Structure 1
Amino acid sequence: MLLENKTAVIYGGGGSIGGAMATGFAAEGARVFVAGRTPATLETVADRIRAEGGQAETAVVDALDASAVNDHIDAVVEKSGSVDISINLIGLDAIFQPLADISTADFVAAISKGLTTQLITTKAAARHMVKQESGVLLFFGGSDHANSLPGMGNVQIGMDAVESLRRQWAVELAPHGIRTVTLLTGGIVDTFPDIPEMAPARQSIIDASPLKRAATMADVGSVAAFVASDKGRSITSTQVNISVGACYG
């Protein structure tokens, strides 16, 4: 298996994308630690993994609390011996409106939240990965330089900001054998609410793809597992495009 004897920590692991990554990592043999603020959703993901023969543990962690994150990652390393993969799927509070309609306070607060949680969790994992001289830091979202959609509000801006953060981490951590990779997504349609209002957004993502289809949650888990594995060891300091060609970043 691709991730046998590896330890993966997923913040926001109870969400749709976090659960998909946890499932993908566990299916390839990783010991998965899913963290978040909602015990019920975390246990749902962990129970599904265990039912399929995988290893999963849960922890209630506020990823905006640096002390809580550091205590958690220390406990993971004490239990498993290492932290080999870390990813934060929490992100910012999305505001899909024209920029002119968003209050300055709301805009700044949302961007700040996204960057703060990413910085906290990455610093915590990097502290151990530097000692190990190995590790993979994954990010999700990515920077789409060809974005031409109005009404995206703070969403693409926030993802661009996180991607800039990832690039800086890449420069500083590469000398320690740590890889940094972003999964560039154009939207995972099977995470969208199944309501009529979302149909146009879902179809626009499909239409933007040359193959006229969208990435699924299973695709996310499979690609993330490959990139994080030693099979993907030549991939670092870059984005891996999982948008089925919809993004050109």
Structure 2
Amino acid sequence: MLLEDKTAVVYGAGGSIGSALARGFAKEGARCFLVGRTPGKLDALAEEIRAAGGQAETAVLDALDEAAVDDHADTVAARAGSLDISVNVITQDAVFTPLIDMPVADFGRAIEKAATSQLVTTKAAARHMVKQESGVILFFGGADYHRGQPGLGTVQVGMDTVEAMRRQWACELGAHGVRVVTLLTGGIPETFPSIPEVEPQKHAIVDATLLRRAATLDDVGHVAAFVASDRARTLTSTQVNISCGAHGD
């Protein structure tokens, strides 16, 4: 298995993307530590992983609480012997107001939460990865700097901010054998609610691809497991494009 003897921490594991990542890691042999704020969702996912023969443990904490995140990372590293993979897919508090109408305070809060959460969790993992001279930190979402779309408010700005952090982390951690990679997505229709109002958006995601299909949650887990494995050891400071051609060169 690709991730045998590896330890993965997934922040936001109770959500659809986080669950997909955890399943992908667990299927490839990783011991998964599932972190979030909704105990029921975390426990259900952990039971599912264990029923399939995987390893999973849960922790309820706020990813903005630096002390709690650090304590959890220390516990994981001590119990498992290493902290090999870390990914934070906690969603930002998106504000879809056009920037010209955007309340400054709302903008600041949204961007601050996205950046702070990523900084806190990445710092916690990086401390251990630098010591062990290995590790993979994954980001999710990405940015296509050649395309823009009006009406996204803080969403794309937040992802661009996180991407800037990813580039800086990669150059600072590379010398210690730590890889930092983003999964670039054009959208995952399965994550949308099954209501008529969002059907046009789901179709738009598919229509924007070259393959005429969008990535699935299973695709997300499979690619993430590969990128986190030693078979992808040459990949860092880059985005791995899982958009089915919606984003291109």
TM-score over 0.5 for the pair: yes
- Residue 80 of structure 1 aligns with an amino acid whose one-letter code is A
Corresponding position of 2:106: 106
| 1:1-249 equivalences in 2 (<5 Å) | 1-248=1-248
Q: What per-residue deviation string (whole Å, max 9, x for no partner) do you get for residues 180-200 of structure 1? A: 000001111101000011111
Alpha-carbon distance in structure 2 between the residues aligned to 1:104 and 1:197: 29
Question: Contact 1:91–1:118 (CA<8 Å) still a contact in 2?
Answer: no
User: What secondary structure does 1:236 align onto?
Assistant: coil
Q: What per-residue deviation string (whole Å, max 9, x for no partner) do you get for residues 59-81 of structure 1? A: 00110000000000001011100
User: What secondary structure does 1:29 align onto?
Assistant: coil
Q: What per-residue deviation string (whole Å, max 9, x for no partner) do you get for residues 163-189 of structure 1? A: 000000001000000000000011111
Q: Measure how far apart 1:100 and its partner are.
A: 2.1
- Residue 26 of structure 2 aligns with an amino acid whose one-letter code is A
Alpha-carbon distance in structure 1 between the residues aligned to 2:15 and 2:238: 25
- Residue 178 of structure 1 aligns with an amino acid whose one-letter code is V
- Residue 11 of structure 1 aligns with an amino acid whose one-letter code is Y
- Residue 150 of structure 1 aligns with an amino acid whose one-letter code is P
User: What secondary structure does 1:95 align onto?
Assistant: coil
Alpha-carbon distance in structure 1 between the residues aligned to 2:133 and 2:91: 27
Q: What per-residue deviation string (whole Å, max 9, x for no partner) do you get for residues 74-133 of structure 1? A: 010111000000000013211223222321111110000000000000000000000000
Alpha-carbon distance in structure 1 between the residues aligned to 2:57 and 2:42: 9
Report percent identity of matched pairs. 65
Structure 1 residue runs of 5 or longer lacking an equivalent are none
TM-score by structure 1 length? 0.98
| Number of residue-to-residue matches in the alignment | 249
Q: Which runs of 4+ in 1 moved over 2 A?
A: none
Structure 2 residue runs of 5 or longer lacking an equivalent are none
